[in-house]
Structure 1
Amino acid sequence: MRVLISGGGTGGHIYPALSIIKEIKQQEPDSVFLYVGSSKGLEADIVPRENIPFQSIEVSGFRRKLSLDNLKTIYRFIKSVRESKKMIRDFKPNIVIGTGGYVCGPVVFAAARLGIPTLIHEQNVIPGLTNKFLSRFSSAIAVSFEGSASFFNHSTIEITGNPRATEVAQASRKEGRASLNLPLTKKIILIVGGSRGAKAINLAFLEMINQLPKLKDCHFVYVTGDVHYNEIREQVEKKGASIEQVTLKPFVYNMPDVLAATDLIVNRAGASFLAEITSLGIPSILIPSPYVTNNHQEKNARWLEEKGAAKVILEKELNGDILYQSIAQLMQDENELKKMSTASRQVGYPEAAHHIYQLMKKIVQNEKH
């Protein structure tokens, strides 16, 4: 199998693509891959580290208001389609897969124009502009949430889940606790502000830190992000909080295992992260980022809240007292925590990557006939 895959801009588009590649390799070890992204996106660094051949095109997104920049965007798109066609002709893929981000727009569009089978994957509840555009040309659409299907007018839409869930579903609770050096008797509350941290979550955590001893059976693991680590550590020490009850980490490299060891998580509402926590059935308190396109994180979070798997706190309403009370109510109500865990697991798709692989195979076989 020869597979060309494209997606970029953020980890939410890149890591699902890498999970799909990993699944295809497991099923068909002789497969050959080409990843097309932007030289300015995170994929330019992440993908080559995985020893996956990488080529780049330059493309930008449309502004939602009338702007001369949109004329430049149209020019870049047309140029990128032409470059993508050349890459596709040279590589000769059996299928082209897009996982979102502006960069996959010209790539999947070019493939469709050349008669190559195409598949797009949508991670969020509300589809992005690129996937809405590409849905008119794709052979099939895979979505992470059942609520996403209604936004597409297409004959072949399958709810597969997010392929990132597959990798996390195999994680070890025991190894996660061992890596944190924590006893089995403690309940772990994981707080994650994202790889670059989140100022609002940082402030709320610092405001509530002197209340943590009230939750005697709980241990807090806070992933601050590299940028904020030293500042947060200094603030924690100044407040005289018991470091024995808090583990601060700038970054966690074995996040799947740490997630497997977690009893409650506080985090943003990026689609890939939600796929990971639901694959393990983790109850969550979600604080969606208000700084993302189309406010998609709040829509992701609200969907999970409606299913009974999460509680949502908007950033504008967040403070230390609200965050502490939300955590305390759940940690002191075992039945509610179990109900949320069950609901979380019910909406998870631990076999997502394999479902996407099966859909990919079906598309390629249909095209042959």
Structure 2
Amino acid sequence: MSKRILFTGGGSAGHVTVNMALIPKFMEMGWDVKYMGSKQGIEAELIQNMDHVEYIGISTGKLRRYLDWENLKDPFRTIKGVLQAYRLIRRMKPNVVFSKGGFVSVPVVIGAWLNRIPIIIHESDITPGLANKISIRFASKICVTFPETLEHINNDKVLHIGAIVREQFMHGSVLRGLNLCHFTRHKPVIVCMGGSLGSQRINEVLRRNLHPLMDKFQIVHICGKGQIDPSYANYRGYKQFEYVHGDLVDILAMADIVISRAGSNSIFEFLSLKKPMLLIPLSKEASRGDQILNALSFKSSGYCEVLFEEDMNDNSFIDAINKLYDNRHEIIDKMENRSNKGTLRKMIDLIESTSI
């Protein structure tokens, strides 16, 4: 009888991509793979596109850090989700649960713990998010991406395993990317993306400065759901997308530089592709500050330039892009000297050894 693994994680694409890297490997090994998350979150959209993976939606709350009337309802949604997860997991009997985090994972982790199923958690950022802070006490193993994270989690179950990147990212085609965007080989390409939900601030400053930038660059703008501006639809050398799934590997393959937020999974994907980055982390007012720490860690390693949102204006934005492009060869050299081989295999081996 084949072993069974239950994946969870969601709320943003960053809480799903590591799972998407692991799922094909376990399917190749003959495991029965299931995924549990919210009923209508981005994880449902992404995972339901994967063949032979059963997706199970449950009730989930949202762990907000701001005042909202929905905060009064969310504990009840979470409790309902725990009860649903407990019953489903009891019936499903997975050998192990792998959680990538995000608020949708909390009911699944608790439901698995109540069923005495081993749980492995993966934390991408330097400091753990609120969902993982709650879930850590229930975990069998806690895997971290940054070595600095070991200073923030006082637990003998934690180990540094590194970044897990989807293997398909290494097989993008420059030619397919150029054809998709109707670009040429005669100008360098910027890929600008603000995370799975987009970034209004980055979108605005990029569009205000399209004309001076397009004198030098071709630009792919992944702007987020509902944020395409039709008035720019016919600009030659500027291509907008709301969100990109399978074609992202080809778009990144043709990129000379990338402008992005500083979510851990994304920046490690850019690093694996040796793409110099301008990172614009979410401010502390809009987040818990994890992206700032991620960006500063990469800056100290020489992999990127950093532009804080509070300092971003038209001039600083253009200057940072030009500085990054001018220094791209030096940055790529530093990326070449980095070693992160075997991380995916280490994670698979850990999951296998932890399963019951």
Same fold (TM over 0.5): yes
| Corresponding residue number in structure 1 for 2:238 | 246
Q: Secondary structure at the match of 2:48?
A: helix
**C-alpha distance in 2, partners of 1:19/1:266?**
23
Equivalences, count:
351
| Corresponding residue number in structure 2 for 1:282 | 275
Measure how far apart 1:277 and its partner are.
0.4
In structure 1, runs of 5+ residues without a counterpart are: 238-242
The change in CA–CA distance for 1:189 and 1:351 in structure 2 (over 3 A counts) is farther
Question: Which of 12, 15, 23 is the matching residue for 2:14?
Answer: 12
TM-score (norm 1): 0.84
**C-alpha distance in 2, partners of 1:73/1:201?**
31
Map 1:288-367 onto structure 2 (within 5 A): 288-290=281-283, 292-331=286-325, 333=326, 336-344=327-335, 349=340, 351-364=342-355
Measure how far apart 1:263 and its partner are.
1.3
**C-alpha distance in 1, partners of 2:251/2:339?**
18
**C-alpha distance in 2, partners of 1:63/1:181?**
41
Map 1:126-145 onto structure 2 (within 5 A): 126-145=127-146
Q: Could you tell me whether the CA contact under 8 Å between 2:182 and 2:237 is conserved in 1?
A: no
Q: Could you tell me whether the CA contact under 8 Å between 1:280 and 1:345 is conserved in 2?
A: no
Q: Could you tell me whether the CA contact under 8 Å between 1:263 and 1:283 is conserved in 2?
A: yes
The letter for the 2-side match of 1:187 is P
| Corresponding residue number in structure 2 for 1:230 | 229
**C-alpha distance in 1, partners of 2:129/2:18?**
15
Instruction: Compare 297-306 and 43-52 and name the one that shifted more.
Output: 43-52
Q: Secondary structure at the match of 1:136?
A: helix
Q: Could you tell me whether the CA contact under 8 Å between 1:266 and 1:286 is conserved in 2?
A: yes
| Corresponding residue number in structure 1 for 2:32 | 32
Q: Which has the higher contact order (CA 8 A, sep 6+)?
A: 1
More helix by share: 1
TM-score (norm 2): 0.86
**C-alpha distance in 1, partners of 2:231/2:290?**
28
Are residues 1:267 and 2:266 paired?
A: no
Measure how far apart 1:261 and its partner are.
1.7
The letter for the 1-side match of 2:37 is G
Q: Could you tell me whether the CA contact under 8 Å between 1:192 and 1:268 is conserved in 2?
A: yes
**C-alpha distance in 1, partners of 2:178/2:120?**
38
Measure how far apart 1:198 and its partner are.
2.4
| Corresponding residue number in structure 2 for 1:119 | 120
| Corresponding residue number in structure 2 for 1:240 | none
Percent sequence identity over aligned pairs: 27
**C-alpha distance in 1, partners of 2:158/2:334?**
24
**C-alpha distance in 2, partners of 1:117/1:94?**
7
Q: Secondary structure at the match of 2:203?
A: helix
The change in CA–CA distance for 1:6 and 1:197 in structure 2 (over 3 A counts) is closer
Map 1:109-258 onto structure 2 (within 5 A): 109-212=110-213, 215=216, 218-231=217-230, 233=232, 243-253=235-245, 254-258=247-251
The letter for the 2-side match of 1:43 is E
